[in-house]
């Protein structure tokens, strides 16, 4: 009776030795996240390099964890960060507060803030948990210019991209 059980157990062990292991050798090896995974945020740019974020604070208002702090300022054509009149002078997310719910992404009228793939957030100091605008901003895309930019007047007058189809 006892021997029978033992043999069955050993048989399972033996079988597993020849199966593909499920353990992932993190950090040497990393698993791809799912398409709808919500990881560390990015602030996106337009192709020309202008920031999509217009400093509207709607993400901060939507955030259930009060993790986002936005301070806006006014764009000029001499010193332009984003289209329209307003940009985020300060943009901070406290990753220790964030619960990665993605509400900020939903609230954003310009699709500036998106939750990305990065889940590797660790800190040795609470201050490091505050991600500043510089840390969150995407790099300037090829062909684009860094911000602030000098722009011709009368071109970037709209903060929110034009809605082509009102029934959309």
Partner 1 sequence: MAKLVTLTIDGITVQVPPGTNVVDAAKKAGIDIPVFCYHPKMEPVGMCRMCLVEIGRPVVDRATGELVRADDGSVKIQFSPKLETACTTPVSEGMVVINTSQKVKDGREDILEFLLTSHPLDCPVCDKGGECPLQNLTMEFGSGQSRYIYDEKMHSAKHVPLGDLIYLDRERCIQCARCVRFQDQIVDDPVIGFYNRGRALEIVTYSEPGFDSIFSGNTTDICPVGALTTADFRFGARPWELNAAASICTQCPVGCNLTINVRREAISQGRMAIKRIMPRQNEWVNEIWICDKGRFGYHYVESEERLDQPLVRKDGKLTPVSWDEAINLVSMRFKQAGSNLLTLVSGRLSNEDLYNIRKLTDSLNGKSALYTQMGGGDVVAQVGMSTGSNLANLGKGDVILVIATDLHQEAPIWWLRVKQATERGAQLIVANARSTRLDRYAKYPIRYAYGEQNNLIAALVQLIDPQKFVDAKAIKHLSEQSIIKDTAEALKAAQNLVIFFGNEGSGVADSQVLAQTCAILLATTNHAGKPNNGLIPVWQRANDQGAWDMGWRPPTDLSTSIKEANALYIVACDPAGDDPRLSLTPDFLVVQDLYLTPTAKLADVVLPALPFTEREGSLTSGERRVQRYYPAIPGRTGALADFAIAAQIAKACGITLEERSAAKVMDAIARENADYAAISYTELANVEEQWPIIGRADLYYGGTSYENKQGLGMQLQNAVQKGEPFQISLPELVEQSGEGLLAVPITRLYDRGNTLIPSQLLRTHLVSTVMWINAKEAKQQGVEEHDVVQIECGETSALVTVELEDAVPDGVVLVPRSVGIPISEPCRVRLHITERV
Binding mask 3-42 for partner 1 (x = CB under 8 A): ----------------------------------------
| Residue written as token pair 């033996």 | 14
Residue ranges that bind ligand SF4, judged by CB under 6 A: 53-59, 62-65, 67-68, 70, 88, 93, 98-104, 107-108, 110, 112-113
Q: Which residue from 40, 86, 93, 149 is in contact with partner 1, where contact means CB under 8 A? A: 86
Residue 74 interacting with partner 1 (CB under 8 A) = yes
Q: Which is nearer to partner 1, 71 or 120 (CB)?
A: 71
Compute the distance between CA of residue 24 and CA of residue 28 in angstroms, rounded to an integer.
9
Cα–Cα distance, 141 to 87 (Å, whole number)? 19
Q: Which is nearer to ligand SF4, 6 or 123 (CB)?
A: 123
Burial of 160 (0-12, 13-18, 19+ CB in 10 A): exposed
According to the binding rule CB under 8 A, does residue 109 interact with partner 1? yes
**95: number of Cβ within 10 Å:** 17
Q: Are strands 113-115 and 130-131 parallel, antiparallel or unpaired?
A: unpaired
- Candidate residues 6, 16, 90, 96; the one interacting with partner 1 per rule CB under 8 A: 90
Q: Do residues 88 and 55 touch, judged by C-beta distance below 8 A? A: yes
CA distance linking residue 74 with residue 20, whole number of Å: 57
| 62 vs 73, beta carbon nearer ligand SF4 | 62
Residue 93 near residue 118, CB atoms below 8 Å: no
Q: Which does 166 bind (CB under 5 to 8 A by kind): partner 1, ligand SF4, none?
A: partner 1
- Residues in the site for partner 1, rule: CB under 8 A? 54-58, 60-61, 69, 71-74, 84-86, 89-90, 92, 109-110, 157-160, 162-167
């Amino acid at each position: 009776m006892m021997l029978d059980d033992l043999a069955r157990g050993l048989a399972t062990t033996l079988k597993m030795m020849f199966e593909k292991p499920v353990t992932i050798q993190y950090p040497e090896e990393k698993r791809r996240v799912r398409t709808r995974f919500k990881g560390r945020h990015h602030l996106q740019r337009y192709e020309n390099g202008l920031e999509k974020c217009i400093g509207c604070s709607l993400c901060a208002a939507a955030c259930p964890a009060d993790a986002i702090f936005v301070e806006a300022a006014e764009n000029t054509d001499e010193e332009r960060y984003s289209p329209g009149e307003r940009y985020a002078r300060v943009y901070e997310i406290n990753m220790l507060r964030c619960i990665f719910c993605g509400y900020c992404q939903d609230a954003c009228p310009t699709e500036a803030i998106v939750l990305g793939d990065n889940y590797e957030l660790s800190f040795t100091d609470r201050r490091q948990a505050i991600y500043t605008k510089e840390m969150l901003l995407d790099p300037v895309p090829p062909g684009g210019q860094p911000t602030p930019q000098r722009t011709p007047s009368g071109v970037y007058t709209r903060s929110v991209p034009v809605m082509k189809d009102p029934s959309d």
